[in-house]
Amino acid sequence: MREVEILIIGAGPAGLSAGIAAARRGAKVLIIDENQRPGGQLFKQIHKFFGSREHNAGVRGFRIGEQLLEETEQLQVEVLLGYPVYGIFDDHLALYGSADGVQTVKAKKIIIATGANENNLYFEGSTLPGVMTAGAAQTMVNLHHVQPGSRVVMVGSGNVGLIVSYQMLQAGMDVVAVVEAAPAIGGYGVHANKLRRAGVPFYLSHTINRVTGEGGVQKVELVELDHFQPVPGTEKVLEADTVCMAVGLTPMIELASMAGCQLAEIPALGGVIPLHDEDMRTSNPDVYIAGDISGIEEASTAMEEGRLAGTAAAEALGYVPAGEAAAEKEDIRARLASLRSGEFGQKRADAKAQILNYYHQGGKQ
């Protein structure tokens, strides 16, 4: 069994940022990720970030991932890839798989940055080849340079659905339609307008009724919704060979639950998440969280939460003077507040305030 000061589970934007923040202060950090390459979602993001300069406006997602990896190497943060973490047990003991079999590591502090899983829809024909999540399609196009199909129907008009739709257009595919059950587009106008200019039709207050085809997707039948209920007689059929679903994410809380972290259901943040305080510390005082496990948000927010958790964990180990840590954490919280401002961010800000309230009330909802 090996021992480390800080164990970080997840090498996405939150985990890498946490490792960098802690290592800069002198802490010895080990990052473990089940994937074969680090960076999480960043390496699938070929679009430019927008917002403020301090949040990488104008920089493409994969470039941000490269910068984070370069920093981890410079700080000599150890990163183990292709090693799934099976569980967290008493005495801060984590069990993970490796080429040499199951291994154990004991940590003084643990930061869980496991991210989230994509949600699925179930309809007649949803198991046909050609039906997939938006993340799967994005991986095929941006990482492996393979078109999942030629004519695509995207279900979901949040930022993920809009961005992936545009990236498939860039890859030479025809986006037949973007289908949204709600009466309004869910993502940013800047992304939706790119698709509109490209001539992609939006079907609002619609959903997929069924998908048919011999050996794969050939026809996609839509139906209109009235208050989210199908309206008989409004069915329309589109010719397509691919259906992508961008219908939300669910935080991956399993390891946090095993570590004894108290959980709460906050629908605005994606469902059940671990309670945490202003430092991203859970009800288990030696376990912190960061990124989508703490609520579904953007990559910029995940990186800031990672910096907050990494700084707090290093402070708890005595690497950061209290006054200096307080100032640094306050700066990070101010940047988080900025990211959660505006029309789209306020809902997340309110939900985060709700989490803090539950935490300080001892988990009472």
Cα distance between residue 335 and residue 238, in whole Å: 44
Backbone angles phi, psi at 174, to 5 degrees: -100, 120
Q: Where are the domains of the chain?
A: 2-117+249-360, 120-245
Cα distance between residue 143 and residue 44, in whole Å: 6
> Would you say residue 168 has pLDDT above 70?
yes
Q: How much is the CA Rg of the chain, to the nearest whole Å?
A: 21
pLDDT in tens, 217-261: 999 999 999 999 999 999 999 999 999 999 999 999 999 999 999
Task: Spell out the residues 6+ positions from residue 362 whose beta carbon is closer than 8 angstroms to its own.
Answer: none
Q: Which CATH architecture is the domain 120-245 placed in?
A: 3-Layer(bba) Sandwich (3.50)
- pLDDT at position 43 is 57
Question: Does 163 or 48 have the greater pLDDT score?
Answer: 163
Backbone angles phi, psi at 290, to 5 degrees: -160, 150
The mean pLDDT value of the chain amounts to 90
Q: State the virtual CA torsion across 301, 141, 190, 131 in degrees, nearest 10.
A: -90
CATH of 2-117+249-360, one of 3.50.50.60, 3.30.300.160, 3.90.1150.10, 3.90.180.10: 3.50.50.60
- Model confidence band, residue 144 (pLDDT cutoffs 50, 70, 90): confident
pLDDT in tens, 9-25: 999 899 999 999 999 99
Cα distance between residue 152 and residue 325, in whole Å: 49
pLDDT in tens, 281-326: 999 999 999 999 999 988 889 999 999 999 999 999 999 888 899 9
Cα distance between residue 339 and residue 350, in whole Å: 13
- pLDDT at position 339 is 84
pLDDT in tens, 90-136: 989 999 998 888 999 999 999 999 999 999 999 999 999 999 999 99
pTM: 0.90
How many residues belong to the chain? 365
Question: Hey, do 2-117+249-360 and 120-245 end up sharing a CATH topology, with the first three levels equal?
Answer: yes
- pLDDT at position 223 is 98
Cα distance between residue 85 and residue 103, in whole Å: 9
Q: What pairing do the DSSP bridges indicate for beta strands 78-81 and 2-9?
A: unpaired
> Would you say residue 89 has pLDDT above 80?
yes
> Would you say residue 363 has pLDDT above 70?
no
Tokens matching residue 122:
């179930």
Question: Does 3 or 40 have the greater pLDDT score?
Answer: 3
> Would you say residue 52 has pLDDT above 50?
no
Identify the DSSP state of 287: E
Tokens matching residue 347:
């809902």
- Model confidence band, residue 53 (pLDDT cutoffs 50, 70, 90): low
